[in-house]
Amino acid sequence: MSTLITEKFNSVYGPVDSWRYGRSLGIDLIGEVSTCSFNCVYCQLGEIEHKTEERKIYLETAKILQDLNSYRPFNDTDIITFSGSGEPTLALNLGEILAYLKLITKTPTLVLTNGTTLGDTQVRKELKLADQVSIKLDGINGEKIRKVNRPVREISATEIRDNSIKFRQEYHGKISIQTMILVPWNEEHIREYIEIIKAIQPDEIQLNTPSRPKPLKHELDARGNHSPTSIRDYPVKVLKCVSSDVLRNMAQKIQEMTAIPVTYR
The domain in which residue 141 lies consists of 12-264
Helices 187-200, 157-170: crossing angle, 10 deg rounding: 30
134 is a domain residue = yes
pLDDT tier at 4, thresholds 50, 70, 90: very low
pLDDT at 140: 92
1 is a domain residue = no
pLDDT at 7: 57
Q: To the nearest whole percent, how much of the chain has pLDDT over 90? A: 83
Q: How far apart are CA 11 and CA 14, in angstroms?
A: 10
Give 177-213 pLDDT, tens digit per residue.
999 999 999 999 999 999 999 999 999 999 999 988 8
246 is a domain residue = yes
pLDDT at 169: 97
210 is a domain residue = yes
Lowest mean pLDDT among 13-17, 174-178, 226-230: 226-230
pLDDT at 18: 87
pLDDT tier at 229, thresholds 50, 70, 90: low
221 is a domain residue = yes
Report whether pLDDT(164) > 60: yes
Report whether pLDDT(3) > 50: no
6 is a domain residue = no
Strands 262-264 and 204-208 come out as: parallel
pLDDT tier at 2, thresholds 50, 70, 90: very low
HEC string of the chain equals CCCCCCCCCCCEEEEEEECCCEEEEEECCCCCCCEECCCCCCCCCCCCCEECCCCECCCCHHHHHHHHHCCCCCCCCCEEEECCCECHHHECCHHHHHHHHHHHCCCCEEEEECCCCCCCHHHHHHHCCCCEEEEECCCCCHHHHHHHCCCCCCCCHHHHHHHHHHHHHHCCCEEEEEEECCCCCCHHHHHHHHHHHHHHCCCEEEEECCCCCEECCCCHHHHCCCCCCCCCCCCEECCCCCCHHHHHHHHHHHHHHHCCCEEEC
3 is a domain residue = no
Note the pTM of the prediction, 2 decimals.
0.93
253 is a domain residue = yes
Report whether pLDDT(256) > 50: yes
CATH number for 81? 3.20.20.70
Give 44-55 pLDDT, tens digit per residue.
999 999 999 999
- What does pLDDT average to over the chain? 93
Q: How far apart are CA 39 and CA 46, in angstroms?
A: 9
Higher pLDDT, 6 or 42: 42
Domain count, the chain: 1
Average pLDDT estimate for 246-253 = 97
Residues forming beta bridges with residue 262, ordered by sequence position? 205
